[in-house]
A and B are shown apart, each in its own frame.
Chain A
Amino acid sequence: MAAVKTHVRTTLNGEATEYLCEPNQSLLEVLRDVLFLTGTKEGCNDGNCGACTVNMDGRIVDSCLVLGVEAEGSDILTIEGVATPEGLHPIQQAFLENAALQCGICTPGFIVASKALLEKEPNPSEARVRHWLAGNLCRCTGYDKIVKAVVDAANTMGGKK
C-alpha cells in the first residue's frame, strides 16, 4: 500500500534536487528507481559490498543503508557527478588506463570511494588504499589493478598541483 510520500530536498551532484519518497525506500532505491541515476549499483543491499557507495556531506556511505528521507538537506555526490563537461576525473582515467575494471559493476563504488580518499589523503600508501577500499568488493580483478589505478591517480592529481 502506497504510504504518504515525503518531500525531500537535497543537493545532488551540485544541483538542487527534490524528490518524493516513502520512508521504507533507501537512498539507493531513490537514486536508481526514482531519479533514474543507475550508476550507483546495488550489490548486496546490506552494507557489505560497497557497490552503492556515494559521498554524503563529505563522507562515503553505503546508500543502501541510508533512507531516502534521511537525506533531507544533504549534499550528495554519486558517480554521475564525478566527471565534468571538460572530461573524466583523473581517477576515472586511471581506472581505464590501468584496466582496473572487468565487468565494471563495482567500478562506480570504487571510484566514489577512492575520490574521497584522495581528497583527504593525496598520497596514500598501498596499505592505506587497501584499508580504505576494503568495504568495496570486486569479484573480477583480484584488486591488483584497482590498487595500481588509485595510486596512479594520486600521482597524477598530485602532479597537477
Chain B
Amino acid sequence: MTTVDKKKYKVIGTSPIRHDGADKVTGRAVYGIDYHMPGMLWGKILRSPHAHAKIKSIDASKALALPGVHAVVTGKDMAVAADIEVEAGETSLNYMHLSDNVMARDKALYKGHAVAAVAADTQHIAEEALALIDVDYEVLTPVLNGREGMKADVPLIHPDQTTKVMAFRFDPGTDTGEKSNVAGRSQLKLGDIDAGFKEADFIVEREFTTSWVHQGYIEAQNATAHWNNDDNITVWNSSQGTFNQRQLMAEILKHPVSQIKMVPLEIGGGFGGKIPVYLEVPAAMLSKKTGHPVKMTMTRTEVFEGTGPASAAQMKAKVGATKDGRITAAYAELVFEAGAFPGSAVGAGAQGMFTAYNIENILIDGYDVVVNKPKSAAYRSPGTPQACFPAEAVIDELAELVGMDPLDFRIKNAAKEGDRRADGVQHPEMGNLECMEALKASDHYKSDLGGPNRGRGVASGYWGNAGMPASCSIAINADGTVSLAEGSPDIGGSRTSIAMMCAEAFGIAAEDVHPSIKDTDSIGYNGLTAGSSTTLRNGWAVFEVTNQAIELIKARAARLWETEPENVDFADGVFFSKAEKELKLTFKEMAGKLMETGGPISVAASVAPRGAGPSFTTHMVDVEVDPETGKVDILRYTAAQDVGTMIHHDYVEGQVQGGTAQGIGWALNEEYFYDDKGQMLNSSYLDYRVPTMLDLPMLDTILVEHPNPDHPFGVRGVAEISVVPPLGALANAIYAAVGVRMRDLPMAPHKIVKALQEKNGKTK
C-alpha cells in the first residue's frame, strides 16, 4: 500500500528477474566455498577445547612430519596489531583484539578459539594433522554470564582491562580505573524519569534474559588466499565488505593495503556475520609459508563455535503510563555479553529500545561485559531484537493494566516526526504510525482467532539504518545497454535493485543494465553490505553516474543537432531539443551515436550519502499453544513495515519475510546451549533449531511506502528491522493464548509448560 503520493516510475517498484538468477538456479554461480585454484592446498584450524585456558606451549612437529602436510602457523607467527578500535557493524573490535580473535596468542578465550592452522594436500590430511598438534593448556575457570561477570570476585578474562564510561563504541571513554570484565558502561538520558514515573498511574518493571543466537547463514565462512612472490596478496571469499576486510587484513598482517586485493565471490548469506575476518588471515599466512594458494572452509560446528553470534543479554525494563494510556517514563538496564573481547551491540540496543514511542523521560544504562564465549558480531539490526523484547513485553502489560487494546496503546504513544528519541534526535519524516494503523485496518486484525488456547500478539520495532560510502561506474554500450560495475557484495538481490535505479534514470529496461560486482582493485571504495544500506547508498552512486552521463550525452546530442548543450534536455528516456521539438532521440538511439560524436562514454562516481532514513515496523501474530506440551504453532503472521520507495518489490518483501522468520526462530527455539564449562552442546543444525519450512505459515506483509525525503529515489533501508518485533510479538501472543508471560528466550516448550504449571499451582 502507498500512503504518500510518490513519483511515477517505470522500472522502480516492479519485480524483474534478477541478473544473477540463471546462474543461481542452475548451480553455475561461484560462491566463496566453490572457489578452486590449480595447485591449491587445504587449510584447517585447530581450536581450543577449553573455554578459558592459558596456552603454555604448542608442538606441531608430529603434524609437520605427516606426509602431505606443508605448514603450520600459530599465534607466535602473528604480527602484533595496533590497539585501535575498528568498525565491525554495530559491534566493535580493536585490531589487536581482532588479531587475537583470529588466532589466540597466549590465552584461549572460548571453546572454539583458533590456536593453530595447518596446510596440507587435502582436507582429510589437514584434519588428521590437527590431531597431531600438541597444545599444553592450563585450564582456567570460565566466566559464562554477563551479570556474573560483573561481580567483583570472578576471574578477569583480560587481567588489565578496566571499565570505561563510553558514549560511543569506539570512544576512548573515561577510564574508571576499575579492573573488571565490564569493558564499557554507557547511558542514554532524556528528560527526568523520576518526574515521569511520578506522573504514572501504572508502572510495570520486569527482568528478561535472552540467549546467544547465530545468524545461521547456510554457506560457512571460507577464504582462498594466495600470497604471491611479489608480496601481493589476493583473497577470494564471501564477505559483506571487501574494502573493510582489506583494511582489517592490512592491520593484522602489517601489510600495505595497496598490496591486498579482495575478490568478492557470491555469498551464501551473512546477516552481519560475514563482516569480520576469520580464515582470511591464516589462509594468507599459510600461503606465504608454502608458496601455494590455500583454501580454508569452516565446518558447521566451527561456524557456531568460532565465528561471531549475537550477544545474550540480561535486561530490566520499567515503563510507566497514565490511566488514559500515555507513557510517561521508561527505564532500562541492558547487560550484553560481548563475548571474549569487548564490543557488543548494547549501544545500538539502547538506541532502538523505546524508539517507536514518544516518551519524554527515558534512562537506559548499558553494560558491555566480556565472557568466555565467541566474540559477538553483528546480526540483523544488531542489539535491537534483544532490547526491544523487554520494551514490547512491558508495554503489552501496561496496555492491559490501562485497559487498552495493545495496538491502540501503541498507536496512542507512537513516535511521530519531530518527537525526540532517547538520544535527543528529533525523528525525521517516517511511517511509524502508518504501519500501526495499516495493521489495525487489516483483515488479520479483524479476524477471529477461532479456537481455544489461541492468542494474538503485537510488537513494534525501530532500526536506524546506515549510510556509508559507495562507488560505482557505468559504461554505455553502443546498443543502448549499460554495463554497471558495483563494489558492494550482493547478498539478497541488491545488484538488481541498483541496476533498476540505473535503468530508471536512463529510461531503459532493467534487463538492459548488466551489473557486476568488482574486486577492490577494480572499483572505488564501498562500505559494508550491511546496515540496510546497500540499495540506498548505491542508489546515490547510480544517481550521480547517470546524471553525469546524461550531461555528457546532452553535449553529444547538441553536437548532432548543431546547438549548445544547454539547449538539450532529457526526460522519460528521451533527449530532445528545447527549441525544435522534432529533434529527439531516445537514450538507446543516442548510445548508438556516441562513437561518431566523440567516442564512448563511461562514468564513475563515489558518494558518502546522508539521511539514511530510519525504519519502523509493527508485527501481528496469532499462535496456538498446546498447554500440555508447550508447543507453539504460528497460525498467522503479518508484518507492516515502512519500506520507503520499493525498488524491487519482491526482494523488499523477501527481506521483510526473511527477517521475520529469523526473529521467530530467535523467539521460540534458537539458543546456544552451554554446559557449566562453557562447552556449546548443540553446535549443529540438528540441535540449533532454525525454523524449517514446516514451522512457519505464509508470512504476510503490509508494505507501507513512505519515501525517504533525503534520497533521490526515496529509498529507505528495509533489510534488517523485521527481525526485531517477532520476539515481543510472540511473547505477547503466548500470553494472550494461555496467560503466561515468557521473559526468558527462547520460549521453548519446556519453559512454557513450567510457567503454566506454576501459574496453575498458584491459582489452585
A contact residues around B654 at 8 Å (CB):
99, 102, 140-142, 145
In the docked arrangement, what's the CA distance between A93 and B738, Å? 44
Interchain CB contact under 8 A, A41 and B696: no
Find out whether the CB atom of A139 lies under 8 angstroms from the CB atom of B300: no
Q: Assess the B31–A105 pair: CB atoms within 8 A.
A: yes
**What residue of chain B has the Cβ atom nearest to residue A112's Cβ?**
B27
Q: Does residue A146 face the partner (Cβ distance < 8 Å to B)?
A: yes
Contact of A82 with B by CB under 8 A:
yes
The one of B17, B34, B219 that contacts A43, using a Cβ cutoff of 8 Å: B219
Kindly state the separation between the CA atoms of A37 and B30 in the bound complex, as whole angstroms.
Answer: 11
B670 CB to nearest A CB, Å:
11
Map CB proximity to B onto A120-161 as digits: 1 under 8 Å, 0 otherwise: 000000100111011111111111111100000000000000
Contact A40 B27 (CB under 8 A): yes
* A139 to B300 Cα, complex, angstroms: 14
Contact of B17 among A2, A83, A96, A136 (CB under 8 A): A96
A44 within 8 A of B: yes
Question: Are B657 and A41 interface neighbours, CB within 8 A?
Answer: no
Q: Is A27 an interface position by the 8 A CB rule?
A: no
Contact of B428 with A by CB under 8 A: no
Task: Let me know if A44 and B693 touch, CB within 8 A.
Answer: no
Asked if B205 is an interface residue, CB under 8 A from chain A, the answer is no
Tell me if B693 and A143 are in contact (CB < 8 A): yes
A141–B24 CB distance below 8 A: no
The distance in angstroms between the C-alpha atoms of A13 and B224, with both chains bound, is: 29
A106 sits at the interface (CB 8 A):
yes
- Could you tell me the distance between the alpha carbons of A24 and B694 in the complex, rounded to whole angstroms? 33
Q: Across the interface, do B219 and A134 meet the contact criterion of CB distance under 8 Å?
A: no
B548, CB-defined interface residue at 8 Å: no
Q: Count chain A CB atoms within 10 A of each CB in B122, B218, B653 and give the residue with the most.
A: B218
List the B side residues contacting A137 at CB < 8 Å: 218, 685, 690, 692
Residue of B24, B27, B36, B123 contacting most chain A CB atoms (<10 Å): B27
B217 adjacent to chain A (CB < 8 Å): yes
B-facing residues in A80-132 (Cβ within 8 Å): 80, 82-83, 88, 92, 95-99, 101-108, 111, 126, 129-131
Report B11 CB to chain A, min CB distance, Å: 16
Q: Roughly how many angstroms separate A111 CA and B267 CA in the complex, as a whole number?
A: 19
In the complex, chain A residues 54-99 whose Cβ is within 8 Å of any chain B Cβ: 78-80, 82-83, 88, 92, 95-99
A96 to B25, Cβ gap below 8 A?
Answer: yes
Interface residues on B, range: 35 or more
Q: Which of A2, A102, A131 has the most CB of B within 10 A?
A: A102
Which residue of A is nearest B25, CB measured? A92
CB interface residues, B 239-295, toward A, < 8 Å: 266-271
Interface membership of chain B positions 620-635, coded 1 if the CB is closer than 8 angstroms to chain A and 0 otherwise: 0000000000000000
In the bound complex, what is the Cα–Cα distance between A42 and B43 (angstroms)? 17
Shortest CB distance B64–A (Å): 15
Classify the interface of chain A: helix, strand, loop or mixed.
loop
Are B657 and A144 in contact (CB-based, < 8 A)? yes
Contacts of B268 in A (CB 8 A): 41, 43, 103-106
Q: Which residues of A contact B669 (CB under 8 A)?
A: none
Also in contact, A36 and B685, with CB within 8 A (given A43-B218, A141-B654)? no
Q: Is the pair A45, B300 in contact by a Cβ cutoff of 8 Å? A: yes
What residues of B have a CB within 8 angstroms of the CB of A111 in the complex?
Answer: 25
Complex-state Cα separation, A7 to B27, whole angstroms: 26
Q: Say whether B650 contacts A101, CB under 8 Å.
A: no
Closest partner residue, chain A, to B270 (CB atom): A103
Enumerate chain A residues within 8 angstroms of B692, measured Cβ to Cβ: 134-135, 137
Q: How far is the CA of A44 from the CA of B300 in the complex (A)?
A: 5
B310-368 with Cβ < 8 A to chain A: none
Which residue from chain B places its CB closest to the CB of A3 in the assembled complex?
Answer: B124
Choose among B17, B123, B492 the residue that contacts A140 (Cβ–Cβ < 8 A): B492
Does B22 make an interface contact (CB < 8 A)? yes
With A83-B26, A111-B25 in contact, is A139–B651 under 8 Å at CB?
A: no
Report if A9 contacts B (CB, 8 A): no
B271 contacts A139, C-beta separation under 8 Å: yes
Closest A residue, CB atoms, query B639: A142
Distance in angstroms from A49 CB to nearest chain B CB is 5
Contact of B18 among A32, A36, A96, A146 (CB under 8 A): A96
Q: A32–B32 Cα gap in the complex (Å)?
A: 13
When C-beta atoms are compared, the residue in chain A nearest to B28 turns out to be A39
Q: Which 7 A-B pairs have the closest CB atoms?
A: A39-B27, A105-B268, A142-B661, A99-B650, A104-B24, A79-B27, A142-B657
Q: What are 8 A-to-B residue pairs whose CB atoms are below 8 Å? A: A1-B68, A2-B121, A38-B30, A45-B299, A79-B26, A79-B27, A105-B217, A140-B491
Chain A interface (Cβ < 8 Å from any Cβ of B):
1-2, 22, 24-25, 29, 32-33, 36-46, 48-49, 51, 78-80, 82-83, 88, 92, 95-99, 101-108, 111, 126, 129-131, 133-147
Beyond the given A99-B653, A103-B217, could you list 11 further A-B residue pairs with CB under 8 A, ordered by the A residue number? A2-B68, A2-B122, A44-B300, A44-B684, A88-B26, A101-B25, A103-B270, A104-B268, A142-B660, A145-B654, A147-B693
